[in-house]
Amino acid sequence: MHTVAVIALDHVVPFDLAVPTDVFGWVRLADGSPGYRVVVCGPADEVSAGPFTIRVRHGLATLADLTETDTIIVPGVADDDASVPAEVVDALRAAAARGTRIASVCVGAFTLAATGLLNGLRATTHWLGTAELAARYPAIEVDPHVLYVDNGQILTSAGAAAGLDLCLHLVRRDYGAAVAADAARHSVTPLERDGGQAQFIAHEPPAPDGVSLRPLLTWMEQNLADELTLDRIARHAALSTRTLNRRFREQTGTTPQQWLTRVRLRRAQHLLETTAHPVEWIAAQTGFTSPSTFRERFKRLVGVSPAAYRASFRGAEIASAPRGGAPVAGALAAGALAAGALCVSATYTRP
């Protein structure tokens, strides 16, 4: 079981604190056992959380006492100009030296930056704070356009819901797409958004008529094996291709074909994890024109070949399972997803 420690500083942003405690707390493996132990710790017994106060059960010494701690989450605080307590800086640096994975949520990047652990790395935060982060910490390569940045041991996320995306990304890294998809269902959140997707900074609001793409996205997911050209998608939606592209940008932040490719790959991941079907069959079922095209795109976007992905995430029972498969129970093989995995598809709606 992975242990996740969430640090609660004074004036912590409640949402930033709640997201990791809930997401990791909901994770269940194929046998029903919990995937994570979650503890909340801080430098004081009580911390302000805006309109209410939170009692913290564990002190910062817990980070050192829990030598098996796998991940530390650093939520944001309401005042990112506030100085970070020296004991927090020391605790995070010591944890990093031990190899602990550390991730910040939203403006928690300012706390993480104060430790020096982001120096020389690419990082992000809420788009309203990216300019200030870059100005205050010039040694950090601040990217204002992404939802999260995964540097391996050190990760950062953008604002609000991007923290949820980051937590689900970590679940994918640890346990694979099927477990992450189950966690997302508990969170009632989609899994289309990968780290490179743009933050919703300057996108226009949805169409004035309030038309949602949800029915169209559902139809596309149900017909992944078909040839879904832009013209065919537009005809089904009774829209011009220009209007279709505009609405996709408004409501998903990407193009129809890019969205479709990601969903196909996530469906392929699910099939690789949960069935023993050959790669050629999976390529056909997910709409790729040839197995070689499927392998090339899968490796380019996921970071490993389909065969390597399957070897990393399927349980021993899958190898001997009849065609049709069985639930995955395996854990992450070391380094298999250094580039970060995608995940199983679910219908996307604009936050």
Report the C-alpha gap between 34 and 92 in whole angstroms: 26
Report the C-alpha gap between 188 and 162 in whole angstroms: 14
- Residues 6+ away with beta carbon under 8 Å from 339: 302, 303, 304
Per the CB < 8 A criterion, the answer to whether 182 and 29 are in contact is no
User: Strand, coil or helix: what is 9?
Assistant: coil
Report the C-alpha gap between 67 and 306 in whole angstroms: 34
Sign of the torsion angle spanned by Cα atoms 190, 106, 198, 286:
negative
Give me the DSSP letters along 186-207: HHT--S---TTSPPSSSPPPSP
Residue 162 dihedral angles phi and psi, to the nearest 5°: -65, -30
Q: Give the C-alpha distances (Å, rounded to integers) separating 217 from 112, 156, 213, 236.
A: 37, 29, 6, 11
> Which positions are annotated as active-site residues?
106
Q: Which two tokens stand for residue 23?
A: 């997401």
Q: What angle do CA 313, 255, 258 make, to 5 degrees?
A: 30
